[in-house]
Chains A and B, each alone.
Chain A
Amino acid sequence: MTRPGPPQWSADEAISSLFAAHYRPLVRLATLLLHDQGAAEEIVQDGYVALHGHWSRLRDADRALGYLRTSVLNRCRSALRHRRVVTAYLAGAGPVADAPSAESGALDLLQHDAVMAALRTLPTRQREALVLRYYLDLSEAETADLMGVSRGAVKSHTFRGLAALKQRMGAER
């Protein structure tokens, strides 16, 4: 996807280029993890600001993406510490954002929303594993690396997360 940036990139040039390449996908990643786009954008911006400070040590566009993803993941975890248990959450939550795009295809809206709602009830690590594996399409090894856990843990988080989703979707019917 990305080529190593020329070594003569200054930190400012690196930020501009990496912003163009990765900002939207990172915001999407953070929003899937957090379900709060405003917070997600702030988190991603923080990551770029921090990257700017680290650029002299990274100097490599591929490593920079890893840095940004790690930073987003860590900051999302940090943000999730603030989440309160809202027992009536599922009952009380309104519909999410706006209507889906016309490309939603065969999957109907209710089902889509049910999957997203179920995803939001999962423990953080399970949701991370599912989003990294099935949205970013990372391998188990890459996911383990990014999450800072073993491959076995990724396997088990993924398995349990999927099982919980299936169970909740089953309960919907």
Chain B
Amino acid sequence: MNEEMLRRVLADEADRIEPGPGALPEIQRRTAAGDRGGAWRRWRRPAWSPPRFAGGRWGGWSPLAAGAVTVATLSVAAVVVGLASTVVPTPSDRVEPPPGAVGAHRSASATPDEVRPGPTPPDGAAAPSVGTGPGTPAAGPTATTAGLPVYYLGGDPGRPRLYREFHRLWLHDGSARDRATAALRNLLDGPVGMDPDYRNPWPVGTDLREVTVADGVATVDLAGAADNDVDEVTARLAVQQLVWTVTAVPGISGLRLRLDGAPVDRLWGRVDTSGVLRRAPATEVLAPVWLISPQHADTVNRSFQVHIAGILPEATAQLRIQRGTRTVREQFVTLSIAGPAQGEAKVAVTLPPGRYTLTAYAISLADGTEQFLDDHTVTVR
């Protein structure tokens, strides 16, 4: 095994890969429709697509890598960080059951603090997320993971709102700083969340220089984020995306923003970022409907729970389940409380194995149209 052999293997492997037809018209259709590349997709399984491994959309190899979602031992201490200064965020950012991983030893109704055995990260596994330059400590054998909330923008590009995903990330010491760092690195690591409908509007290449935490306020220092050509609404939501992600960490209730080490009073010429930034009211920034779980690309057991949250005047959401284009289930879901609070509900579902699209949405009281759609594609095994 040498460099030359690797070159040849990669070249041979690449030669086997022949893209399917019809991509250019599809790209042209999307650009004509004003798609910005945030990628709403329907599920295609074209005939020419190679067989996939178990594990749904991203199933495949062992991801001992950046921000990999894994089933790992949760050290209870790292999960329940009870600090006096903890904000109790609404909606709850408590650790949810992790996304249904392949071979996850959990029922769909796993309790949030359930502790599961799992592989410990092997030596040399990359620390969560982001280009690990020299000096970044690799996750050692004592590292643990935790499901951390990471927020994204989604919905109507002209009127984006925040959505939340839980990402299972490696931790070093489980401190507030450690958690904020892991979540932010993961957030900045790509243009979209696990759900490609969830966008990260920060400039590509934005890097996290440092996070420090003092007196419940995290100071977040970013590089490569000085310029961004976005409108005012997106800029405001981009800041709130950081704030909601960081303040989801117990012990952190506010954020100070720095760019390349210096305070920034006005970000991108659009939004005031001086002083300590706090969460804006949920009704102003969160999407009115969230499909919390299963998360996009999850694999679930035949019987599982669909967890929906919403800020809706009538506390009534809708759930639709489709297989291909056929709707197999369509129902009202009554949430625990009406807006302006965020209500929640869980619906028990049993489905034959296959791939489904779950859509949570609301029906407009004004004109009966469907609005605030949040859809996830999942595999039932």
Contacts and interface: CB of A to CB of B under 8 A. Distances in A.
Interface of A: 11-12, 15-16, 19, 23-24, 27-29, 31-32, 34-39, 41-42, 44-53, 57, 70-71, 74-75, 77-90, 92-94, 96-98, 100-101, 103-105, 107, 112, 115-116, 120-121, 123-125, 130-131, 134-135, 147-150, 152-153, 156, 160, 162, 164-166, 169-170
Query: 10 tightest CB-CB pairs across the interface, nearest first?
Result: A50-B37, A78-B190, A83-B63, A82-B58, A124-B65, A120-B61, A149-B131, A49-B37, A84-B101, A135-B10
Main secondary structure, interface of B, reads loop
Contacts of B299: 84
Contacts of A124: 63, 65-66, 68, 126
Given A41-B19, A153-B132, A165 B6 contact: yes
Given A112-B12, A153-B134, A87 B52 contact: no
Interface string B1-27: 111011111111111111110011011
Contacts of B45: 38
Given A82-B57, A125-B65, A38 B44 contact: yes
22 contacts: A12-B28, A23-B24, A34-B58, A39-B57, A49-B35, A49-B36, A53-B31, A74-B190, A77-B67, A80-B68, A83-B68, A84-B70, A84-B102, A85-B101, A87-B119, A97-B16, A97-B51, A101-B12, A130-B10, A134-B6, A147-B131, A150-B133
A115 B14 contact: no
Interface string B215-240: 00000000000000100000000000
Given A23-B19, A45-B27, A71 B204 contact: yes
Given A38-B45, A170-B1, A45 B23 contact: yes
A34 B207 CA distance: 23
Which residue of A23, A97, A116, A123 has the most chain B CB atoms within 10 A of its CB atom?
A123
Contacts of B36: 49-50, 53
A49 B101 CA distance: 30
Given A124-B65, A153-B134, A107 B12 contact: yes
Interface string B279-303: 0000000000000000001010000
Contacts of A83: 55, 58-63, 65, 68-69
A125 B204 contact: no
Contact of A84 (B8, B38, B49, B55): B55
A86 B62 CA distance: 6
Main secondary structure, interface of A, reads helix
Interface stretch (B191-199, B246-254, B312-320): B191-199
Interface residues of B, number: 86
B54 interface: yes
A148 B101 contact: no
Given A84-B63, A135-B14, A92 B54 contact: yes
Nearest to B70: A85
A62 to B, nearest CB: 17
B62 A85 contact: yes
A103 B37 contact: no
Which residue of A93, A124, A152, A162 has the most chain B CB atoms within 10 A of its CB atom?
A124
Contacts of A123: 64-66, 124-126
Nearest to A38: B49
Contacts of A27: 17, 19
A47 B37 contact: yes
B191 A78 contact: yes
Given A46-B37, A134-B6, 18 more contacts: A34-B60, A38-B50, A45-B26, A49-B36, A75-B192, A81-B167, A82-B57, A84-B59, A84-B63, A85-B68, A85-B118, A107-B12, A125-B126, A130-B6, A130-B10, A148-B205, A149-B131, A149-B132
A100 B14 CA distance: 10
Nearest to A118: B1
B189 interface: yes
